[in-house]
Amino acid sequence: MINVAVTGASGRMGKTLVQALNDAEDLRLGAAFEAPGHESVGTDAGDLAGVGNLGVAISDDITSQAEQFDVVIDFTVPAATLALASICRANGKGMVVGTTGFTDEELAELHGAADDIALFMAPNMSVGVNLTFKLIEIAAKALGDSVDVEVMEVHHRHKIDAPSGTAVRMGEVLADALDRDLESDAIYGRQGITGARNRKTIGFSTLRGGDIVGEHTVMFAGEGERIEITHRAGSRMNFAQGALRAVRHIHEEPPGLYDMQQLLDL
């Protein structure tokens, strides 16, 4: 049995992870965490997630609970993830990270943890999304510079980073396949007299509203035809199930950086 901790346990994703762990036969919730002072601290994580009392009270002290878990799943914010990584390195605990919005410096710091622990990172834990990445790569290589490429994403009103980590990853896939530099070729929205489009650009459009779980589309627009590759998430449970697969993938693996492409052999 693999003991798993969940950070942000009172949030939408945290509750979904607790529900998924409760249904798994080979995994169990060993610990649950929230930010210091959060109103849910001390509440049973199972009760909060609607699956009944699990005997796991939400804590704000990760260090004191380190012996209660083998791997932690983290969908929070970059500052919290980096602090968690430091504790996991000190205690030899694996990490599955779905947090997005890191700066390059923060990402480099987090990747450093992989020197000492098994660190699984993915901007999107959905198996379907990661298959979509592969389809985008295939299409981009086949179409080359004969089309314009746009990345469009829609999320709920509470999402704090834009474009989403998944959209950025789609842009990276496009840039690699088309031999472009995302840092210089990306266009994040347009306004005013922009002039004719430069074929080398990779466009991003972001929408926020309501309770939309997540939608991503890459459009390849050519002369006389258009190809669109779309993934729509209707529930957070697909992200949770992907995260559980990641836990199984890195449990008892040596220190290193792991991702969904390795897990799915893509």
Q: What is the pLDDT of residue 151?
A: 97
* CA–centroid distance for 116 within its chain: 21
**Is 159 a residue of the active site?**
yes
**All structural domains of the chain with their residue ranges:** 2-121+236-263, 127-233
Instruction: Tell me, yes or no, if the pTM score tops 0.95.
Output: no
Confirm if 9 and 48 have CB atoms less than 8 A apart.
yes
Q: What is the pLDDT of residue 189?
A: 86
Q: What is the pLDDT of residue 86?
A: 96
Q: What is the pLDDT of residue 209?
A: 96
Residue 266: pLDDT over 80: no
Residue from 38, 111, 159, 200 carrying the catalytic annotation: 159
Helix (H) or strand (E) holding 154: strand 148-155
Are both 2-121+236-263 and 127-233 of the same fold? no
Q: What is the pLDDT of residue 176?
A: 96
**Residues contacting 177, CB < 8 A, separation 6+:** 136, 137, 140, 141
Confirm if 94 and 120 have CB atoms less than 8 A apart.
yes
Q: What is the pLDDT of residue 242?
A: 93
Provide the residue type at 21 as one letter. Answer: L
Domain 127-233 grouped into CATH 3.30.360.10: yes
pLDDT per residue over 54-82, tens digit each? 999 999 999 999 999 999 999 999 999 99
- Rounded CA-CA distance 64/36 in Å is 13
Residue 154: pLDDT over 80: yes
Residue from 155, 216, 231, 249 carrying the catalytic annotation: 155
On average, the pLDDT of the chain sits at 94
The residue that leads in pLDDT, 170 or 261, is 170
User: 235: pLDDT confidence band, cut at 50, 70 and 90?
Assistant: confident
What is the percentage of the chain residues whose pLDDT exceeds 70?
100
Q: Spell out a b/e string for 219-243, using b for 16 or more CB atoms within 10 Å of the CB, else e.
A: bbeeeeeeeebebebeebbbbbbbb
Q: What is the pLDDT of residue 161?
A: 87
> What integer is the mean pLDDT of 128-134?
93
Q: Which CATH superfamily is domain 2-121+236-263 in?
A: NAD(P)-binding Rossmann-like Domain (3.40.50.720)
